[in-house]
Chains A and B, each alone.
Chain A
Amino acid sequence: MSQATTVPDVPGPAPTKSSGPRKLTKAEQRAVDAKTRLSSPWASVIAIVIAILWSVPTLGLFVTSFRPEIDIRTSGWWTFFRDPAVTWANYDAVLYGGSTNFIDVFVNTIVITLPAVIIPITLALLAAYAFAWLDFPGRNMLFVAVFALQIVPIQITMIPLLTQYNNWGIVGSFWPIWLSHTIFALPLAIFLLHNFMMDIPRSLIEAARVDGAGHVKIFFQVLLPLLVPAIAAFGIFQFLWVWNDLLVGLVFGSAQEVAPLTVRLADLTGTRGTAWHLLSAGAFVAMVVPVTVFLLLQRYFVRGLLAGGVKG
């Protein structure tokens, strides 16, 4: 953990430190070198331009969400700065308007998302361990088959799956949504975690074996601590995917008691699609949690993408 404090995550504005001059560690030296190499004025200009271009639509959406309905309908968001008029009416309509209680769909989304992230990661960890460290006949074939499942478009599985859930009598509960998200996530999860596990030196596992550790002990005490960044990275991916998913939620969870936030947002524009002025506010309400999660776990995200090797 001590490393995290000394390595700046990304080359950027140098962290302000009040402590006086001291000898730089190796990592800090590297960061300083990278900074000098990467920060040419032109690169900065391009980076700033791209950042602005990418932020402007979001800013426009944000501004729009606070404008009165008639302004949204008749003029562009940029006219806001000439003639500012602010209202909470859109957020009020999104949060409290309509017959579905907003807090219910919000809770539904959380209830859907957590198991739909935890179940596939748990299963994928076990499967990835088997694929990486257990020798069994047909292992490579099976792994390729699992990997190939990513190619299957989830749309073609909808009706057969729903028929099956219906036969089991679980339609209308959360199970169809959890199971479906698990099914759709597993191929990629197994593939990613397997690759992370393969990066761990075989000698480490063998050393543990020599010391008398069984599979369970190796899995929990040797591998799991090393896999935290990978798990976190995939967890964020899966979290964002499930949170933003409409298709699975709509097909398997359209019943009022289990419908997620996205299903409600899709209905926000009204029966004839005329209430689209609510969409910008709805988008921001739906974004709050994913953005918070992303910002809080950003470190893991970046590290998870880059790392994968052994940490000292």
Chain B
Amino acid sequence: MRSKTTRRLAMATSLGLAGVTLAACGSGGGSGGGEDVDEALSSVDVACEPYEEYGDLEGTSVSVYTSIVSPEDQAHIDAFIPFEDCTGVTVEYEGSRQFETQLPVRLESGNAPDMAYVPQPGLVERLVTDFPDSVFPVGEQAEANVDEYYNESWKGYGTVDGTYYAAPLGANAKSFVWYSPGAFEENGYEVPETWDDLMALSEQIASDHPDAKPWCAGIESGNATGWPATDWLEDMMLRTAGPDVYDQWVEHEIPFNDPQVVEALDMAGQVLKDENMVNGGLGGVESIATTPFGEAGLPILDGSCFLHRQASFYQANWPEGTNVAEDGDVFAFYLPGNDTETQPLLGGGEFTLMFADRPEVQALQAYLASPEWSNAKAKVSPPGWVSANSGLDPANLKSPIDQLAYELLTDEATTFRFDGSDLMPAAVGTGSFWTGMTNWITGEDTQSVLDSIENSWD
């Protein structure tokens, strides 16, 4: 009989355990955004006039599928609230890190979401080509918003074969160099304004601080390892060859291993492959390949590195309590152009693509391209979010780096170019380009890396 008692006891224990777990879960979970959000949004103009043009949509719902997951998704969900309150539409948000593989599966099996946030124009093009019956062009209201509030280059990225399919959503600026304002002040360094100044500064740092290195970098990112190095090459292309050649290169009108690309990659090599320049606090040149990109800039905090080229969104990677400001612990300056006249800016962003053309879906797309959304989103977002909507009030952005990014994105003098690896075919842009750059870091020479990437582009 003993075994029976034991089992009953075990059952009781397991139930008790489950009870404890459940109780623990219940006590604090699920409050989500809560009061902060209400407070942040109450300052948004809650007047529903801008929403009246969408018509009567009470009781309808729209499903949105994205690659943006917790914690960044909360701000997206919160930014729907004014739209939902004013139009009566319910927006069902679903984010997944497996978005890129799952979206084609869902389209293929007829289980498409109403709308997707697509982070690469290259993917938009692929979806439009592979599923011509499932995607719908941007609606009139949304297109009018894009025409009014966005730089026309953004419309180009969402256009496939002359039809306008994808409206812009968020944006990010990648041409930034992170540094420590304190360390700069201590050593009397100035923020450089041209590429030559930057290189001179790097050499100055190298000679002043034999224990440290001027630059730190890291390109490890799981199965996307290599992407930060592609950004380096793209930024260099914009500076050595200029935006027009950059476009030709991205469109494959000139070969991937064109001499101008070789020149640009060698320019990146002046930093990334020089033992005197890298890799501050992390090791030698090869350590770049094994350092997670999220941690590569951290040596700036302890002074073993001074400069780290990474996008505006890198601010989320600083440890809690780091003050990101022009007079704080870390800040970023614009990666300078060849001279002070030109201001090429590499960036990225997401686009909204519709898989249903019901009025409420069209209304949501129009809302997401409107200044109302950009401002609402800025108010509920933590630092690290910006859009290229010219109707966005920079005062709503949370951090000085976001304001700087926004300033650059909307500056007339800026030549904005979309991240090339997001525009190239997936086999190159998210394949051989990444692996090629990783091989380049670990010792392969410039010409043969570019040759092998060119050969993979058919």
Per-position contact with B for A257-279: 1 when CB-CB < 8 Å, else 0? Answer: 00000010011111111101000
Asked whether, in the complex, the Cβ of A272 is within 8 Å of the Cβ of B294, the reply is yes
Tell me whether A100 and B105 are in contact (CB under 8 A): no
Chain A nearest Cβ from B337, distance in angstroms: 27
Distance A272 CA – B95 CA, assembled complex (angstroms)? 13
Contact A274 B29 (CB under 8 A): no
Selected contact of B25 from candidates A95, A160, A166, CB within 8 Å: A95
Q: Answer yes or no: A127 CB below 8 A from chain B CBs.
A: no
Any A CB within 8 A of the CB of B55: no
What residue of chain A has the Cβ atom nearest to residue B110's Cβ?
A166
Q: Write 7 A-B pairs (CB below 8 A) sorted by A numbering.
A: A1-B3, A97-B71, A99-B74, A162-B109, A171-B111, A254-B102, A292-B17
Given A4, A159, A273, A292, which contacts B3 in the complex, CB threshold below 8 Å?
A: A4
Is A27 positioned at the interface, with any CB of B under 8 Å from its CB? no
How many chain A residues sit at the interface, stated as a range, is: 35 or more
Cβ contact within 8 Å between B25 and A250: no
Per a CB cutoff under 8 Å, which of A103, A162, A276, A296 touches B106? A162
* A106-B25 in contact given A1-B3, A256-B94, A292-B17 (Cβ < 8 Å): yes
| Chain B residue at smallest Cβ distance from A292 | B14
Task: Bits for A159-193, please: 1 = Cβ < 8 Å to B, else 0.
Answer: 11011011100010000000000000000000000
A159→B105 contact, CB < 8 A: yes
Any A CB within 8 A of the CB of B162: no
For B47, list chain A residues within 8 Å (CB).
none
In the complex, A171 Cα to B111 Cα: how many Å?
8
- Kindly supply a per-residue 1/0 record for chain A positions 35-66, scoring 1 wherever the CB is within 8 Å of any chain B CB and 0 otherwise: 00000000000000000000000000000000
Closest to A254 in B: B96
A139 at the interface (CB under 8 A from B): no
- A-side residues, CB < 8 A to B, are 1, 4-5, 69-70, 73-74, 95-104, 106, 158-160, 162-163, 165-167, 171, 250-251, 254-256, 263, 266-274, 276, 288, 292-293, 296
A69, B319: Cβ atoms closer than 8 Å: yes
Chain B interface, number of residues (Cβ within 8 angstroms): 54
Q: Given that A159-B105, A159-B109, A296-B14 are known contacts, is A254 also in contact with B97, CB under 8 Å in the complex?
A: no
Does B10 belong to the interface (CB within 8 Å)? yes
Whether A159 lies near B29 (C-beta < 8 A) is: no
Is B43 interfacial (CB 8 A cutoff)?
Answer: no
9 shortest A-B CB distances, which residue pairs?
A98-B70, A162-B109, A101-B30, A274-B294, A267-B69, A163-B109, A103-B25, A4-B3, A166-B110
Contacts of B14 in A (CB 8 A): 292-293, 296
* Residues 43-82 (chain B) with a chain A CB within 8 angstroms: 67-74, 77
Given contacts A103-B30, A159-B108, A273-B97, could you give 14 more A-B pairs where the C-beta distance is less than 8 Å? A1-B1, A95-B29, A99-B77, A158-B105, A160-B109, A163-B109, A256-B93, A269-B97, A270-B72, A271-B97, A273-B294, A288-B21, A296-B10, A296-B11
